């Protein structure tokens, strides 16, 4: 029986690709045993068991950019995580370890490679992070979502697969009626989908809250995922308008239905969000998170903007420009069709299957 460890997490952008890889491995070989390794206290500890997989947490955390007491404890957390990773690997005895990014993938893949277990890295962004660049030296294969990644990794190890996306999103067409029912919105009304990411996006949320009445008064409706920190405030803003044309949720699990409903999408530019938008062929306005490591969200967004496949509003300009840009796009059907046509060309619908096949070929 084949055994696989998948390690990483921290945000939905790491977790959902990891689950998509696991599901594809199971589809090819139902007997395969899969164990996830995440970071204690992070969202993978909740989301992975919901998807039906076992997960063990490491006591690892990231290094904060500002001076912080947490940084002083980092060497101790790292040492404990390396020791726990070794114990997990000795106990589970995997045939391969996969890293999808996030705190836990560093210690787990480092220990696995030192113990002679083949490792595979799945790099989601157009700009590689420090951890993956270090791990790449010992990795057997590196699956990437963007071309020209030889700037960061050995060319002979690269495989351009795209980012793995949940199967329900790949099959999100023809679900519009079901989506209206699920989200309590009105049929025959153009819909703006706002995605703040799993942890929320303060600038996007504040901009949408300020312009919510204007969007609705212009004849559109809003489906708004806020993230937990902003949820109560957003729900209060919707309630105050007493309108059937807006709904706010802290988190949307049925993203296939949300995309089915959307005519235009406002989103951060995390790697997973960008990959999903390509697959569902939606005209999008991207507002990159400017403090992402190495500013990788801006680089992700620019890879679309340069292909005339999305619009970009900088985070610092969002409060002044986001709502106006959104209304212009909602009103311009030709521009919507143009963006959809170009974003579709960038889609990689078979990414999870290709990565799973690469994993199995390494065992």
13 annotated ligand-binding residue? yes
Q: Among all chains, which residue has been given the structure tokens 């309590």?
A: 184
Q: How far apart are CA 285 and CA 354, in angstroms?
A: 29
CA distances from 358 to 100, 126, 152, 363 (A): 14, 20, 20, 9
55 annotated ligand-binding residue? no
Question: What b/e readout covers 140-158, taking b as 16+ CB neighbours within 10 angstroms?
Answer: bbbbbbbeebeebbeeebb
Helix (H) or strand (E) run with residue 96 in it: strand 96-99
Helix (H) or strand (E) run with residue 37 in it: strand 33-39
276 annotated ligand-binding residue? yes
219 annotated ligand-binding residue? no
125 annotated ligand-binding residue? yes
Using CA atoms of 185, 191, 192, 193 in order, give the dihedral in degrees to the nearest 10: 60
272 annotated ligand-binding residue? yes
Report which of 220, 252, 222 is spatially closest to residue 238, judged by C-alpha positions.
222
Neighbouring CB atoms inside 10 A of 92's CB total: 16
Q: How far apart are CA 126 and CA 145, in angstroms?
A: 7
81 annotated ligand-binding residue? no
222 annotated ligand-binding residue? no
61 annotated ligand-binding residue? no
97 annotated ligand-binding residue? no
Count how many Cα atoms sit within 13 Å of the Cα of residue 68 in the half-sphere of its side chain: 10
What six digits make up the tokens of 329?
């796009």
144 annotated ligand-binding residue? no
Number of H helices, E strands in the chain: 15, 13
166 annotated ligand-binding residue? yes
11 annotated ligand-binding residue? yes
Residues 6+ apart with CB under 8 A from 112: 5, 85, 89, 94, 97, 119
275 annotated ligand-binding residue? yes
Binding residues for UDP-N-acetyl-alpha-D-glucosamine: 11-13, 125, 166, 198, 252, 271-276, 297
Binding residues: 11-13, 125, 166, 198, 252, 271-276, 297
């Amino acid at each position: 029986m084949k055994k696989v460890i998948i390690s990483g997490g921290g945000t939905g952008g790491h977790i959902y690709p990891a689950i998509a890889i696991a599901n594809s491995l199971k589809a090819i070989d139902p007997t395969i045993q899969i164990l996830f390794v995440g970071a204690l206290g992070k969202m993978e500890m909740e989301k992975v068991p919901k998807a039906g997989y076992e997960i063990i947490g490491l006591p690892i955390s990231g290094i904060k950019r500002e001076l912080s007491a947490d940084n002083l404890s980092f060497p101790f957390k790292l040492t404990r995580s390396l020791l726990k990773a070794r114990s997990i690997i000795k106990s589970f005895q995997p045939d391969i370890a996969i890293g999808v990014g996030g705190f836990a993938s560093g210690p787990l893949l480092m220990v696995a490679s030192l113990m002679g277990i083949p490792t595979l890295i799945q790099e989601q962004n157009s700009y590689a992070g420090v951890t993956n660049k270090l791990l790449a030296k010992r990795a057997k294969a590196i699956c990437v979502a963007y071309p020209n990644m030889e700037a960061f990794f050995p060319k002979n190890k690269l495989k351009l697969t795209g980012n793995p996306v949940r199967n329900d999103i790949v099959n999100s067409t023809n679900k519009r009626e079901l989506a209206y029912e699920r989200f309590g919105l009105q049929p025959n009304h153009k819909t703006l989908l706002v995605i703040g990411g799993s942890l929320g996006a303060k600038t996007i949320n504040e901009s949408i809250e300020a312009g919510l009445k204007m969007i609705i008064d212009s004849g559109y409706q809003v489906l708004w995922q806020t993230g937990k920190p902003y949820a109560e405030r957003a729900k209060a803003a919707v309630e105050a308008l007493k309108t059937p044309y807006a709904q706010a949720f802290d988190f949307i699990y049925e993203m296939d239905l949300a995309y089915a409903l959307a005519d235009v999408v406002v989103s951060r530019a995390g790697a997973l969000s960008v990959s999903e938008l390509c697959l569902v062929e939606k005209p999008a306005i991207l507002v990159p998170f400017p403090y992402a490591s190495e500013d990788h969200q801006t680089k992700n967004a620019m890879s679309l903007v340069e292909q005339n496949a999305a619009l970009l509003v900088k985070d610092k300009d969002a409060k002044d420009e986001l709502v106006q840009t959104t209304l212009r796009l909602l009103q311009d059907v030709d521009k919507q069709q143009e963006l959809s046509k170009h974003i579709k060309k960038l889609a990689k619908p078979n990414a999870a299957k290709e990565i799973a096949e690469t994993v199995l070929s390494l065992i």
